[in-house]
Amino acid sequence: VRTITKATSQRGQNLPPGPYSWPVLGNLPYMLKGPHVYFTELARLYGPLCSVKLGTHLFVMGSSPTAVTEIMRAHERLPTYRWVPKAGQDGLQDYSLIWATECTDHWKLLRSLCRTELFSAKGLDSQSVLREKNVDKMVDFFKTKQGKVVNIREVVFATTVNILGNICFSKDFVALEDDEKESRGLKRALYRLMKLGTTPNVADFYPIFEGLDPQGLKKKTSDAMNEAFSVWEHVIKETRERWESNKGSDLDEDDFLDTMIRCGFSDLQINQLTVELFSGGTHSTASTIEWALAELIKNKEAMFTIQKELKKEIGSTTSIKESHVSQLPYLHACVKETLRLHPPAPLLHPQAILEGCKIMNYNVPKNSQLIINVWAMGRDPTLWEDPLLFKPERFCNSNVDFKGQDFKFLPFGVGRRMCPGYPYAIKQIHLMLASLVRNFDWSLPNNMEDLSKLDMTENFGIISQRKKPLMVIPKCKS
Protein backbone atom coordinates (compact mmCIF):
# COMPACT_ATOMS: atom_id res chain seq x y z
CA VAL A 1 0.00 0.00 0.00
CA ARG A 2 2.89 2.32 0.80
CA THR A 3 3.86 2.29 -2.87
CA ILE A 4 0.69 4.09 -3.81
CA THR A 5 0.26 6.67 -1.10
CA LYS A 6 1.19 9.77 -3.10
CA ALA A 7 -2.11 11.47 -3.68
CA THR A 8 -2.45 13.66 -6.72
CA SER A 9 -4.63 16.48 -5.60
CA GLN A 10 -2.23 18.62 -7.65
CA ARG A 11 -3.53 16.95 -10.77
CA GLY A 12 -6.08 19.75 -10.57
CA GLN A 13 -9.15 19.75 -12.76
CA ASN A 14 -11.10 18.25 -9.84
CA LEU A 15 -10.60 14.68 -11.08
CA PRO A 16 -11.54 11.85 -8.72
CA PRO A 17 -8.57 11.38 -6.35
CA GLY A 18 -5.90 8.86 -7.23
CA PRO A 19 -2.22 7.96 -7.07
CA TYR A 20 0.71 9.72 -8.70
CA SER A 21 1.02 8.62 -12.27
CA TRP A 22 4.43 7.83 -13.81
CA PRO A 23 5.13 9.22 -17.26
CA VAL A 24 4.30 6.77 -20.08
CA LEU A 25 3.57 3.79 -17.80
CA GLY A 26 0.98 5.46 -15.60
CA ASN A 27 0.34 2.98 -12.79
CA LEU A 28 0.56 -0.16 -14.89
CA PRO A 29 3.43 -1.77 -12.89
CA TYR A 30 1.28 -1.87 -9.72
CA MET A 31 -1.30 -4.02 -11.48
CA LEU A 32 0.93 -7.08 -11.26
CA LYS A 33 -0.59 -8.18 -7.95
CA GLY A 34 -4.02 -8.35 -9.61
CA PRO A 35 -6.03 -5.36 -10.80
CA HIS A 36 -8.92 -5.93 -8.36
CA VAL A 37 -6.53 -6.07 -5.36
CA TYR A 38 -4.69 -2.93 -6.50
CA PHE A 39 -7.98 -1.14 -7.18
CA THR A 40 -9.29 -2.16 -3.75
CA GLU A 41 -6.18 -0.67 -2.11
CA LEU A 42 -6.84 2.52 -4.08
CA ALA A 43 -10.45 2.59 -2.87
CA ARG A 44 -9.26 2.28 0.74
CA LEU A 45 -6.85 5.18 0.27
CA TYR A 46 -8.83 7.52 -1.94
CA GLY A 47 -12.47 6.68 -1.29
CA PRO A 48 -15.35 5.15 -3.23
CA LEU A 49 -14.63 7.03 -6.46
CA CYS A 50 -11.02 7.23 -7.53
CA SER A 51 -9.07 7.52 -10.73
CA VAL A 52 -5.92 5.87 -11.99
CA LYS A 53 -3.95 6.17 -15.18
CA LEU A 54 -3.00 2.94 -16.94
CA GLY A 55 -0.85 3.53 -20.00
CA THR A 56 -2.54 6.42 -21.77
CA HIS A 57 -6.07 5.70 -20.45
CA LEU A 58 -7.75 7.22 -17.41
CA PHE A 59 -9.81 4.67 -15.44
CA VAL A 60 -12.43 5.90 -12.97
CA MET A 61 -13.46 3.28 -10.47
CA GLY A 62 -16.54 3.09 -8.26
CA SER A 63 -16.61 0.88 -5.18
CA SER A 64 -19.66 1.89 -3.16
CA PRO A 65 -23.40 1.67 -3.85
CA THR A 66 -23.56 5.49 -4.21
CA ALA A 67 -20.72 5.48 -6.73
CA VAL A 68 -22.44 2.64 -8.66
CA THR A 69 -25.72 4.61 -8.70
CA GLU A 70 -23.98 7.64 -10.20
CA ILE A 71 -21.98 5.57 -12.69
CA MET A 72 -25.17 3.85 -13.85
CA ARG A 73 -26.86 7.26 -14.23
CA ALA A 74 -23.96 8.40 -16.42
CA HIS A 75 -24.38 5.25 -18.55
CA GLU A 76 -28.07 5.99 -19.03
CA ARG A 77 -27.54 9.66 -19.89
CA LEU A 78 -24.47 9.59 -22.07
CA PRO A 79 -23.20 7.72 -25.10
CA THR A 80 -20.89 4.94 -23.88
CA TYR A 81 -19.12 1.98 -25.41
CA ARG A 82 -17.75 -1.20 -23.92
CA TRP A 83 -14.02 -1.44 -23.87
CA VAL A 84 -12.97 -4.50 -25.87
CA PRO A 85 -9.52 -6.09 -25.65
CA LYS A 86 -7.63 -5.64 -28.91
CA ALA A 87 -6.79 -9.36 -29.02
CA GLY A 88 -10.48 -10.19 -29.39
CA GLN A 89 -11.24 -7.68 -32.12
CA ASP A 90 -10.88 -9.73 -35.25
CA GLY A 91 -13.73 -9.46 -37.75
CA LEU A 92 -16.17 -11.51 -35.69
CA GLN A 93 -16.89 -8.60 -33.41
CA ASP A 94 -19.95 -7.65 -35.47
CA TYR A 95 -21.55 -10.93 -34.36
CA SER A 96 -20.49 -10.74 -30.75
CA LEU A 97 -22.63 -10.63 -27.63
CA ILE A 98 -19.97 -10.22 -24.95
CA TRP A 99 -17.68 -8.06 -27.06
CA ALA A 100 -20.30 -5.85 -28.70
CA THR A 101 -19.00 -2.35 -28.02
CA GLU A 102 -22.51 -0.91 -28.17
CA CYS A 103 -26.03 -2.22 -27.68
CA THR A 104 -26.59 -2.66 -31.44
CA ASP A 105 -29.63 -4.32 -33.06
CA HIS A 106 -27.64 -7.53 -33.46
CA TRP A 107 -26.67 -7.47 -29.76
CA LYS A 108 -30.37 -6.98 -28.89
CA LEU A 109 -31.33 -9.92 -31.09
CA LEU A 110 -28.76 -12.19 -29.42
CA ARG A 111 -29.80 -11.12 -25.91
CA SER A 112 -33.45 -11.70 -26.73
CA LEU A 113 -32.76 -15.12 -28.29
CA CYS A 114 -30.79 -16.20 -25.20
CA ARG A 115 -33.46 -14.81 -22.88
CA THR A 116 -36.37 -16.56 -24.58
CA GLU A 117 -34.77 -19.83 -25.69
CA LEU A 118 -32.06 -20.61 -23.15
CA PHE A 119 -32.67 -18.74 -19.92
CA SER A 120 -36.50 -18.41 -19.74
CA ALA A 121 -38.34 -20.47 -17.11
CA LYS A 122 -39.60 -22.77 -19.89
CA GLY A 123 -36.14 -23.13 -21.47
CA LEU A 124 -34.52 -23.86 -18.11
CA ASP A 125 -37.15 -26.48 -17.24
CA SER A 126 -36.62 -28.31 -20.50
CA GLN A 127 -32.85 -28.45 -19.81
CA SER A 128 -33.21 -29.87 -16.27
CA VAL A 129 -32.91 -33.45 -17.41
CA LEU A 130 -29.62 -32.73 -19.24
CA ARG A 131 -28.12 -31.03 -16.19
CA GLU A 132 -29.26 -33.83 -13.90
CA LYS A 133 -27.90 -36.56 -16.19
CA ASN A 134 -24.48 -34.92 -16.42
CA VAL A 135 -24.29 -34.20 -12.69
CA ASP A 136 -25.11 -37.89 -12.00
CA LYS A 137 -22.20 -38.81 -14.30
CA MET A 138 -19.94 -36.47 -12.31
CA VAL A 139 -21.02 -38.11 -9.04
CA ASP A 140 -20.33 -41.58 -10.52
CA PHE A 141 -16.88 -40.39 -11.59
CA PHE A 142 -16.04 -39.20 -8.06
CA LYS A 143 -17.26 -42.54 -6.69
CA THR A 144 -14.53 -44.26 -8.74
CA LYS A 145 -12.01 -41.89 -7.12
CA GLN A 146 -12.95 -42.68 -3.53
CA GLY A 147 -9.87 -42.32 -1.29
CA LYS A 148 -7.80 -40.71 -4.07
CA VAL A 149 -6.79 -37.07 -4.47
CA VAL A 150 -8.82 -35.28 -7.16
CA ASN A 151 -8.67 -31.86 -8.73
CA ILE A 152 -12.28 -30.81 -8.23
CA ARG A 153 -12.16 -27.85 -10.62
CA GLU A 154 -11.20 -29.97 -13.61
CA VAL A 155 -14.05 -32.43 -13.21
CA VAL A 156 -16.65 -29.76 -12.45
CA PHE A 157 -15.41 -27.69 -15.40
CA ALA A 158 -15.65 -30.69 -17.75
CA THR A 159 -19.20 -31.30 -16.50
CA THR A 160 -20.24 -27.69 -17.15
CA VAL A 161 -18.79 -27.94 -20.69
CA ASN A 162 -20.74 -31.14 -21.35
CA ILE A 163 -24.00 -29.70 -20.03
CA LEU A 164 -23.70 -26.73 -22.39
CA GLY A 165 -22.52 -29.07 -25.16
CA ASN A 166 -25.76 -31.04 -24.78
CA ILE A 167 -27.93 -27.94 -24.68
CA CYS A 168 -26.32 -26.39 -27.76
CA PHE A 169 -25.28 -29.41 -29.86
CA SER A 170 -26.70 -32.52 -28.14
CA LYS A 171 -23.12 -33.70 -27.56
CA ASP A 172 -20.69 -34.47 -24.73
CA PHE A 173 -17.49 -32.83 -25.91
CA VAL A 174 -14.99 -33.63 -23.15
CA ALA A 175 -13.94 -36.51 -20.92
CA LEU A 176 -14.20 -36.19 -17.15
CA GLU A 177 -10.47 -36.48 -16.54
CA ASP A 178 -9.05 -34.33 -13.77
CA ASP A 179 -5.77 -33.25 -15.28
CA GLU A 180 -5.63 -29.95 -17.13
CA LYS A 181 -2.50 -31.00 -19.03
CA GLU A 182 -4.37 -33.94 -20.55
CA SER A 183 -7.01 -31.66 -21.96
CA ARG A 184 -7.48 -31.26 -25.66
CA GLY A 185 -10.17 -30.14 -28.10
CA LEU A 186 -12.79 -27.84 -26.63
CA LYS A 187 -11.44 -27.95 -23.08
CA ARG A 188 -7.99 -26.92 -24.21
CA ALA A 189 -9.41 -24.18 -26.45
CA LEU A 190 -11.43 -22.74 -23.55
CA TYR A 191 -8.38 -22.79 -21.27
CA ARG A 192 -6.32 -21.08 -23.93
CA LEU A 193 -8.96 -18.40 -24.44
CA MET A 194 -9.10 -17.71 -20.73
CA LYS A 195 -5.32 -17.47 -20.39
CA LEU A 196 -5.05 -15.23 -23.46
CA GLY A 197 -7.81 -12.98 -22.14
CA THR A 198 -5.77 -12.50 -18.97
CA THR A 199 -2.43 -11.73 -20.58
CA PRO A 200 -1.79 -7.96 -20.40
CA ASN A 201 -1.56 -6.59 -23.92
CA VAL A 202 0.45 -3.41 -24.54
CA ALA A 203 -1.86 -2.66 -27.47
CA ASP A 204 -4.71 -2.19 -24.97
CA PHE A 205 -2.94 0.60 -23.11
CA TYR A 206 -1.05 2.44 -25.89
CA PRO A 207 -2.99 3.48 -29.03
CA ILE A 208 0.31 3.60 -30.94
CA PHE A 209 0.36 -0.24 -30.96
CA GLU A 210 -3.32 -0.59 -31.85
CA GLY A 211 -2.89 -1.69 -35.46
CA LEU A 212 -0.06 -4.07 -34.55
CA ASP A 213 -0.10 -7.31 -32.64
CA PRO A 214 3.23 -6.93 -30.77
CA GLN A 215 2.76 -10.00 -28.53
CA GLY A 216 0.97 -12.13 -31.12
CA LEU A 217 -2.11 -12.26 -28.85
CA LYS A 218 -4.59 -11.54 -31.63
CA LYS A 219 -3.24 -14.42 -33.68
CA LYS A 220 -3.20 -16.80 -30.72
CA THR A 221 -6.77 -15.85 -29.78
CA SER A 222 -7.95 -16.44 -33.33
CA ASP A 223 -6.18 -19.88 -33.34
CA ALA A 224 -7.87 -20.87 -30.06
CA MET A 225 -11.29 -19.79 -31.41
CA ASN A 226 -10.71 -21.86 -34.54
CA GLU A 227 -9.76 -24.84 -32.39
CA ALA A 228 -13.11 -24.52 -30.60
CA PHE A 229 -15.06 -24.08 -33.86
CA SER A 230 -13.46 -27.19 -35.36
CA VAL A 231 -14.93 -29.26 -32.51
CA TRP A 232 -18.53 -28.66 -33.61
CA GLU A 233 -17.99 -27.89 -37.31
CA HIS A 234 -19.22 -31.35 -38.41
CA VAL A 235 -22.27 -31.09 -36.11
CA ILE A 236 -23.33 -27.82 -37.78
CA LYS A 237 -22.81 -29.37 -41.22
CA GLU A 238 -24.88 -32.48 -40.43
CA THR A 239 -27.65 -30.44 -38.83
CA ARG A 240 -27.86 -28.08 -41.81
CA GLU A 241 -28.13 -31.10 -44.11
CA ARG A 242 -30.97 -32.47 -41.97
CA TRP A 243 -32.76 -29.12 -42.25
CA GLU A 244 -32.18 -29.02 -46.01
CA SER A 245 -33.58 -32.49 -46.55
CA ASN A 246 -36.64 -31.69 -44.43
CA LYS A 247 -37.35 -28.38 -46.14
CA GLY A 248 -40.99 -27.47 -45.98
CA SER A 249 -41.93 -29.94 -43.27
CA ASP A 250 -42.00 -29.22 -39.56
CA LEU A 251 -38.80 -30.23 -37.83
CA ASP A 252 -38.54 -30.98 -34.14
CA GLU A 253 -36.01 -28.63 -32.59
CA ASP A 254 -33.74 -30.77 -30.47
CA ASP A 255 -31.20 -28.23 -29.33
CA PHE A 256 -30.06 -24.61 -29.48
CA LEU A 257 -28.26 -25.28 -32.78
CA ASP A 258 -31.64 -26.09 -34.37
CA THR A 259 -33.00 -22.83 -33.00
CA MET A 260 -30.09 -20.81 -34.43
CA ILE A 261 -30.48 -22.48 -37.84
CA ARG A 262 -34.23 -21.80 -37.81
CA CYS A 263 -33.42 -18.14 -37.08
CA GLY A 264 -31.23 -18.03 -40.19
CA PHE A 265 -27.86 -17.76 -38.43
CA SER A 266 -24.75 -18.15 -40.57
CA ASP A 267 -21.98 -20.53 -39.44
CA LEU A 268 -19.95 -17.50 -38.32
CA GLN A 269 -22.80 -16.29 -36.12
CA ILE A 270 -23.35 -19.76 -34.64
CA ASN A 271 -19.63 -20.16 -33.92
CA GLN A 272 -19.27 -16.79 -32.28
CA LEU A 273 -22.36 -17.01 -30.07
CA THR A 274 -21.66 -20.55 -28.89
CA VAL A 275 -17.98 -19.95 -28.14
CA GLU A 276 -19.03 -16.93 -26.05
CA LEU A 277 -21.64 -18.94 -24.16
CA PHE A 278 -19.01 -21.59 -23.42
CA SER A 279 -16.40 -18.97 -22.39
CA GLY A 280 -18.86 -17.00 -20.25
CA GLY A 281 -20.67 -19.96 -18.72
CA THR A 282 -18.15 -22.67 -17.83
CA HIS A 283 -15.10 -21.32 -15.95
CA SER A 284 -17.31 -18.93 -13.95
CA THR A 285 -19.62 -21.70 -12.74
CA ALA A 286 -16.80 -24.21 -12.07
CA SER A 287 -14.83 -21.61 -10.12
CA THR A 288 -17.86 -20.75 -7.94
CA ILE A 289 -18.36 -24.41 -7.05
CA GLU A 290 -14.67 -24.87 -6.28
CA TRP A 291 -14.67 -21.82 -3.97
CA ALA A 292 -17.92 -22.91 -2.31
CA LEU A 293 -16.52 -26.36 -1.52
CA ALA A 294 -13.26 -24.87 -0.24
CA GLU A 295 -15.18 -22.51 2.07
CA LEU A 296 -17.40 -25.34 3.31
CA ILE A 297 -14.40 -27.61 4.01
CA LYS A 298 -12.76 -24.75 5.88
CA ASN A 299 -15.92 -23.82 7.81
CA LYS A 300 -17.09 -27.05 9.40
CA GLU A 301 -20.18 -25.56 10.99
CA ALA A 302 -21.49 -24.32 7.65
CA MET A 303 -20.76 -27.75 6.14
CA PHE A 304 -22.66 -29.41 8.97
CA THR A 305 -25.65 -27.09 8.53
CA ILE A 306 -25.88 -27.58 4.76
CA GLN A 307 -25.60 -31.37 5.14
CA LYS A 308 -28.32 -31.34 7.76
CA GLU A 309 -30.60 -29.30 5.47
CA LEU A 310 -29.98 -31.66 2.54
CA LYS A 311 -30.62 -34.75 4.65
CA LYS A 312 -33.85 -33.30 6.02
CA GLU A 313 -35.23 -32.16 2.66
CA ILE A 314 -33.91 -34.84 0.33
CA GLY A 315 -33.54 -37.86 2.59
CA SER A 316 -31.41 -40.71 1.31
CA THR A 317 -31.80 -39.90 -2.41
CA THR A 318 -28.38 -39.75 -4.05
CA SER A 319 -29.49 -38.76 -7.56
CA ILE A 320 -30.55 -35.21 -6.83
CA LYS A 321 -33.07 -33.38 -9.01
CA GLU A 322 -33.41 -29.64 -9.54
CA SER A 323 -36.86 -29.74 -7.96
CA HIS A 324 -35.20 -31.00 -4.74
CA VAL A 325 -32.88 -28.03 -4.43
CA SER A 326 -35.07 -25.17 -5.63
CA GLN A 327 -36.18 -24.23 -2.08
CA LEU A 328 -33.21 -24.85 0.22
CA PRO A 329 -32.47 -21.57 2.03
CA TYR A 330 -29.11 -22.54 3.53
CA LEU A 331 -27.76 -23.98 0.26
CA HIS A 332 -28.84 -20.80 -1.53
CA ALA A 333 -27.26 -18.65 1.20
CA CYS A 334 -23.95 -20.55 0.86
CA VAL A 335 -23.89 -19.84 -2.87
CA LYS A 336 -24.58 -16.13 -2.33
CA GLU A 337 -21.91 -15.94 0.36
CA THR A 338 -19.41 -17.58 -2.02
CA LEU A 339 -20.27 -15.08 -4.75
CA ARG A 340 -19.87 -12.20 -2.28
CA LEU A 341 -16.37 -13.24 -1.24
CA HIS A 342 -15.22 -14.71 -4.56
CA PRO A 343 -17.08 -13.06 -7.44
CA PRO A 344 -15.83 -14.71 -10.64
CA ALA A 345 -15.92 -11.27 -12.32
CA PRO A 346 -14.32 -9.04 -9.64
CA LEU A 347 -14.31 -5.96 -11.89
CA LEU A 348 -17.10 -5.25 -14.34
CA HIS A 349 -15.94 -4.52 -17.88
CA PRO A 350 -14.87 -0.93 -18.34
CA GLN A 351 -17.31 1.23 -20.27
CA ALA A 352 -15.93 4.38 -21.85
CA ILE A 353 -17.98 7.59 -21.81
CA LEU A 354 -17.90 9.68 -24.94
CA GLU A 355 -18.72 12.94 -23.16
CA GLY A 356 -17.29 14.43 -20.00
CA CYS A 357 -19.57 14.45 -16.97
CA LYS A 358 -19.72 14.89 -13.20
CA ILE A 359 -19.80 11.86 -10.91
CA MET A 360 -20.00 12.42 -7.15
CA ASN A 361 -19.09 16.05 -7.80
CA TYR A 362 -15.82 15.18 -9.55
CA ASN A 363 -15.07 15.93 -13.17
CA VAL A 364 -14.81 12.79 -15.28
CA PRO A 365 -13.29 13.66 -18.65
CA LYS A 366 -14.50 12.39 -22.01
CA ASN A 367 -13.13 8.92 -22.96
CA SER A 368 -12.55 7.89 -19.34
CA GLN A 369 -13.15 4.19 -18.69
CA LEU A 370 -15.68 3.59 -15.92
CA ILE A 371 -15.20 0.43 -13.82
CA ILE A 372 -17.21 -1.05 -10.95
CA ASN A 373 -15.20 -2.95 -8.35
CA VAL A 374 -17.51 -5.74 -7.21
CA TRP A 375 -14.74 -7.48 -5.23
CA ALA A 376 -14.03 -4.41 -3.08
CA MET A 377 -17.72 -3.92 -2.22
CA GLY A 378 -18.02 -7.58 -1.19
CA ARG A 379 -15.25 -7.02 1.38
CA ASP A 380 -16.16 -3.57 2.60
CA PRO A 381 -16.65 -3.47 6.41
CA THR A 382 -19.05 -0.51 6.07
CA LEU A 383 -21.35 -2.66 3.92
CA TRP A 384 -21.00 -6.10 5.58
CA GLU A 385 -20.41 -7.20 9.15
CA ASP A 386 -17.21 -9.31 9.48
CA PRO A 387 -16.75 -9.07 5.71
CA LEU A 388 -13.83 -11.50 5.50
CA LEU A 389 -15.66 -14.33 7.27
CA PHE A 390 -17.72 -16.95 5.44
CA LYS A 391 -21.10 -16.50 7.14
CA PRO A 392 -23.96 -17.74 4.92
CA GLU A 393 -26.42 -16.87 7.73
CA ARG A 394 -26.15 -13.21 6.70
CA PHE A 395 -28.23 -14.07 3.61
CA CYS A 396 -30.76 -16.33 5.38
CA ASN A 397 -33.24 -13.69 6.46
CA SER A 398 -32.25 -11.03 4.00
CA ASN A 399 -33.73 -9.82 0.73
CA VAL A 400 -30.33 -9.01 -0.76
CA ASP A 401 -30.17 -10.72 -4.14
CA PHE A 402 -27.86 -10.87 -7.15
CA LYS A 403 -30.37 -9.62 -9.72
CA GLY A 404 -28.67 -6.27 -10.18
CA GLN A 405 -30.89 -4.26 -7.79
CA ASP A 406 -28.66 -4.37 -4.68
CA PHE A 407 -25.66 -2.31 -5.66
CA LYS A 408 -23.45 -3.66 -2.87
CA PHE A 409 -23.75 -7.21 -4.25
CA LEU A 410 -23.28 -7.45 -8.02
CA PRO A 411 -21.69 -10.82 -8.90
CA PHE A 412 -23.68 -10.95 -12.16
CA GLY A 413 -23.22 -7.30 -13.02
CA VAL A 414 -25.79 -4.54 -13.39
CA GLY A 415 -27.75 -2.73 -16.08
CA ARG A 416 -28.17 -3.64 -19.72
CA ARG A 417 -24.96 -5.66 -19.91
CA MET A 418 -25.75 -7.75 -16.85
CA CYS A 419 -25.16 -11.50 -17.19
CA PRO A 420 -28.01 -13.00 -19.23
CA GLY A 421 -27.02 -16.51 -18.02
CA TYR A 422 -27.51 -15.96 -14.29
CA PRO A 423 -30.74 -18.00 -13.91
CA TYR A 424 -28.99 -20.90 -15.66
CA ALA A 425 -25.80 -20.50 -13.64
CA ILE A 426 -27.67 -20.48 -10.34
CA LYS A 427 -29.68 -23.62 -11.15
CA GLN A 428 -26.51 -25.43 -12.18
CA ILE A 429 -24.49 -24.32 -9.14
CA HIS A 430 -27.24 -25.33 -6.67
CA LEU A 431 -27.61 -28.76 -8.26
CA MET A 432 -23.88 -29.46 -8.46
CA LEU A 433 -23.02 -28.24 -4.99
CA ALA A 434 -25.93 -30.14 -3.42
CA SER A 435 -24.85 -33.33 -5.23
CA LEU A 436 -21.21 -32.99 -4.12
CA VAL A 437 -22.10 -32.32 -0.50
CA ARG A 438 -24.94 -34.88 -0.28
CA ASN A 439 -22.96 -37.76 -1.80
CA PHE A 440 -19.47 -37.32 -0.33
CA ASP A 441 -17.46 -36.36 2.69
CA TRP A 442 -14.49 -34.32 1.51
CA SER A 443 -11.08 -34.18 3.17
CA LEU A 444 -7.78 -32.56 2.35
CA PRO A 445 -4.67 -34.52 1.32
CA ASN A 446 -1.83 -35.32 3.77
CA ASN A 447 -4.27 -35.46 6.72
CA MET A 448 -4.28 -31.67 6.81
CA GLU A 449 -6.08 -31.06 10.12
CA ASP A 450 -5.30 -27.37 10.49
CA LEU A 451 -7.86 -25.98 8.06
CA SER A 452 -6.57 -22.43 8.51
CA LYS A 453 -3.62 -23.60 6.38
CA LEU A 454 -5.86 -24.20 3.37
CA ASP A 455 -4.52 -21.68 0.88
CA MET A 456 -7.33 -19.35 -0.26
CA THR A 457 -5.20 -17.11 -2.50
CA GLU A 458 -6.83 -15.91 -5.69
CA ASN A 459 -5.50 -15.69 -9.16
CA PHE A 460 -6.84 -12.79 -11.15
CA GLY A 461 -7.97 -13.55 -14.66
CA ILE A 462 -10.89 -12.86 -16.95
CA ILE A 463 -12.49 -14.69 -14.10
CA SER A 464 -10.87 -14.92 -10.71
CA GLN A 465 -10.10 -18.49 -9.61
CA ARG A 466 -8.23 -20.12 -6.76
CA LYS A 467 -4.51 -19.74 -7.34
CA LYS A 468 -3.93 -23.34 -6.31
CA PRO A 469 -6.57 -25.80 -7.46
CA LEU A 470 -8.53 -27.41 -4.64
CA MET A 471 -7.16 -30.95 -4.26
CA VAL A 472 -9.53 -33.10 -2.19
CA ILE A 473 -10.32 -36.69 -1.33
CA PRO A 474 -13.90 -37.92 -1.73
CA LYS A 475 -15.40 -40.53 0.59
CA CYS A 476 -18.83 -41.85 -0.36
CA LYS A 477 -21.51 -41.22 2.21
CA SER A 478 -23.57 -44.18 3.24
Query: Residues at the annotated binding site for heme?
Result: 419
Instruction: Give burial (CB, 10 Å; 0-12/13-18/19+) of 425.
Output: buried
Answer yes or no whether residue 51 interacts with ligand HEM by CB under 6 A: no
DSSP state of 32: G
In the complex with ligand HEM, which residue's Cβ is closer, 64 or 285?
285
Q: Which CB contacts under 8 angstroms, 24+ apart, belong to 36-39?
A: 36/346, 36/347, 36/373, 36/375, 36/376, 36/460, 36/464, 37/460, 38/4, 39/63, 39/347, 39/371, 39/373, 39/376
- In the region spanning residues 8 to 47, those forming contacts with ligand HEM, defined by CB under 6 A, are none
- In the region spanning residues 82 to 121, those forming contacts with ligand HEM, defined by CB under 6 A, are 97-98, 111
Answer yes or no whether residue 349 interacts with ligand HEM by CB under 6 A: yes
Instruction: Give burial (CB, 10 Å; 0-12/13-18/19+) of 367.
Output: middle
Answer yes or no whether residue 190 interacts with ligand HEM by CB under 6 A: no
Part in contact with ligand HEM (CB under 6 A); list of ranges 36-44, 124-132, 274-282, 383-391: 274-282
* 175 CA to centre of own chain: 22
Answer yes or no whether residue 186 interacts with ligand HEM by CB under 6 A: no
- In the region spanning residues 283 to 322, those forming contacts with ligand HEM, defined by CB under 6 A, are 284-285, 288
Answer yes or no whether residue 345 interacts with ligand HEM by CB under 6 A: yes
Q: How far is the CB of 248 from ligand HEM (least distance, A)?
A: 33
Residue type (1 letter), 88 = G
Q: How far is the CB of 138 from ligand HEM (least distance, A)?
A: 16
CA-wise closest residue to 377 among 29, 49, 34, 20: 49
When binding is defined by CB under 6 A, the residue of 176, 203, 217, 277 that contacts ligand HEM is: 277
CA-wise closest residue to 359 among 113, 49, 38, 9: 49
In the complex with ligand HEM, which residue's Cβ is closer, 106 or 240?
106
- In the region spanning residues 117 to 136, those forming contacts with ligand HEM, defined by CB under 6 A, are none
Query: Residues at the annotated binding site?
Result: 419
Task: Give how many residues touch ligand HEM by CB under 6 A.
Answer: 24
In the complex with ligand HEM, which residue's Cβ is closer, 229 or 409?
409
The residue sitting closest to ligand HEM, measured at its beta carbon, is 421
Q: What's 353-402 look like in SS3? A: ECCCEEECCEEECCCCEEEEEHHHHHCCCCCCCCCCCCCHHHHCCCCCCC
CA-wise closest residue to 329 among 379, 404, 399, 388: 399
Q: How far is the CB of 80 from ligand HEM (least distance, A)?
A: 12
In the complex with ligand HEM, which residue's Cβ is closer, 19 or 281?
281
Pairing of the two strands 369-372 and 80-82: unpaired
Q: In the stretch 395-424, what mask flags binding to ligand HEM with x, by CB under 6 A? A: ----------------xxx---xxxxx--x
In the complex with ligand HEM, which residue's Cβ is closer, 51 or 160?
160
Part in contact with ligand HEM (CB under 6 A); list of ranges 191-199, 343-351, 354-362, 450-458: 343-351
Residues 6+ apart with CB under 8 A from 191: 180, 183
Per the CB < 8 A criterion, the answer to whether 100 and 80 are in contact is no
State the residues that interact with ligand HEM by CB under 6 A.
97-98, 111, 276-277, 280-281, 284-285, 288, 344-345, 348-349, 411-413, 417-421, 424-425
